[in-house]
Amino acid sequence: MEGKKLEKRIGTAVDVLMYALLLVQMVYVFTGNILHEALGVGFFVCLAAHLAIKRKYLFSLYKLKGKSAARKTANISTMLLSLTSVAMMLSSMGVSRTLFPWFRYLGYSDLHVYLATAVLTLSVFHGGIQGYIRTKKKKRAAVFIGLGCIASIAVGLALVPYLNRHFKVVRVDLAKAVSGEKIEWNGSKPLVVYFTRVGNTDFEDDVDAVSGASLMLADGELMGSNKLIADMIENAIDCDVQAISLTGEKYPSSYGSTVAVAGKELRKNVRPDIEPINTSGYDSIILIYPLWWGTVPMPVATFIESSDLSGRELYLIATQGSSGYGSSADDIEKMAKGADVHKVMSIYCDDIPTSRESIGKWLKELNKG
């Protein structure tokens, strides 16, 4: 009796762990590739344990005769769940880059997401119907099952694509994205200075399988979106371009960890070391930066404070995920003592690959002023 009780408890714990693992797996964009794959293996180990515990039930699934409608539904959904789980295991190995790089069957990422959605939904249904069979409050159980299934489908078909759209790799045809109208710049040649995650982050070699904030593959090469803007300006006007490059520790590959590190840097007001940028001889500087925590990334603050910008025209482009340009212009104005800081052009991250025309217009406007 004691042994059975323990087995039941372990079974419930394994089930809960499996649901949790599935949900964490869905936010792949934040976990990164290696953790995603490791958790995937963990999920299938739990599944094997679950099947071992429930082996008797598993082998009687096909016996539908004489069973109640609820039991029949439970058995059929369990069969479906078993099939989709096997398909998902194959597709997980198929899309794997680290643990099963040699396995290439069912290796389509869209299929993988659909199968994961099916497994999540059927798992909720599978757990729910067992509860439905046991409880006296059938109506309430049915409502919970319905809501759980709708939520699971929404996670797979709405939340995951939303996260992918906003945080996943974007592919760009570099020549097409960068080229456009040539603009005559009034005055001496400006210096374009930009900061971007790529080059300042410890990305894995297979970073196209790892998602991050608006990572971009331009002609198959990883490229920071702010570098793309610098390239657009370089195509439009005669200018020099320099990147703000960290000399010390780089940012971590996962988006979430970078947000955490950047937040800590901001709170502590640190100035990470960067390679020196020679601004002498330039009357105008165009500074391009991503908005981090509503202001400039701290390496950009290092650049501004370590440069003598007095008497220079400072033009700003901020890329962002929703917040305009936050307090970045005010903060820059305080740091860039004596510089003439102009209005910020703010570009929403999804619009970056197609912003060549609006950047051209902005440059023309600057020439007027």
Q: In terms of CB distance, is 211 or 226 closer to ligand FMN? A: 226
Q: In terms of CB distance, is 132 or 292 closer to ligand FMN? A: 292
Q: Is 323 in the site for ligand FMN (CB under 6 A)?
A: yes
Helix axes 298-306, 328-335, angle to 10 degrees: 30
Q: Name every residue whose Cβ is closer than 8 Å to that of residue 226 and which is 6 or more positions away in sequence.
A: 194, 195, 196, 288, 289, 290, 319
Q: In terms of CB distance, is 218 or 349 closer to ligand FMN? A: 349
**9, amino acid identity:** R
* Minimum gap (Å) between residue 10 Cβ and ligand FMN: 41
Q: Where are the beta strands (DSSP E) in the chain?
A: 170-172, 191-194, 201-202, 216-218, 221-223, 240-243, 251-252, 284-290, 313-320, 340-348
* Minimum gap (Å) between residue 226 Cβ and ligand FMN: 4
* Minimum gap (Å) between residue 329 Cβ and ligand FMN: 14
* Minimum gap (Å) between residue 291 Cβ and ligand FMN: 4
Q: Is 346 in the site for ligand FMN (CB under 6 A)?
A: no
Report phi then psi at 62, rounded to 5: -75, -15
Other residues' Cβ atoms within 10 Å of the Cβ of residue 68: 9
**Nearest by Cα to 367 from 181, 228, 211:** 181
Q: Is 253 in the site for ligand FMN (CB under 6 A)?
A: no
The 274-293 site mask, x for binding ligand FMN (CB under 6 A), equals ----------------xxxx
Site for ligand FMN in 197-226 (CB under 6 A): 197, 213-214, 224-226
The answer to whether 253 and 212 have CB atoms below 8 angstroms apart is yes
The 16-45 site mask, x for binding ligand FMN (CB under 6 A), equals ------------------------------
* Minimum gap (Å) between residue 160 Cβ and ligand FMN: 18
Q: In terms of CB distance, is 40 or 224 closer to ligand FMN? A: 224
The 41-80 site mask, x for binding ligand FMN (CB under 6 A), equals ----------------------------------------
Whole-number Å distance between alpha carbons of 264 and 268: 6
Report phi then psi at 252, rounded to 5: -70, 155
Judged by CB under 6 A, the number of residues near ligand FMN is: 21
* Minimum gap (Å) between residue 285 Cβ and ligand FMN: 18
* Minimum gap (Å) between residue 325 Cβ and ligand FMN: 9
Whole-number Å distance between alpha carbons of 287 and 300: 9
∠178-180-181 over CA atoms, to 5°? 145
Helix then strand count (H, E) for the chain reads 14, 10
Site for ligand FMN in 142-201 (CB under 6 A): 196-197
Q: Is 317 in the site for ligand FMN (CB under 6 A)?
A: no
Whole-number Å distance between alpha carbons of 202 and 239: 29
- Candidates 84, 258, 307, 355; binder of ligand FMN (CB under 6 A) is 258
∠245-246-249 over CA atoms, to 5°? 150
Whole-number Å distance between alpha carbons of 337 and 263: 25
Residue with tokens 């949790």: 20
Q: Which range in 60-68, 98-106, 300-308, 315-323 contacts ligand FMN by CB under 6 A?
A: 315-323
Which residues here bind ligand FMN, judged by CB under 6 A? Answer: 196-197, 213-214, 224-226, 258-259, 262, 290-294, 319-323, 349
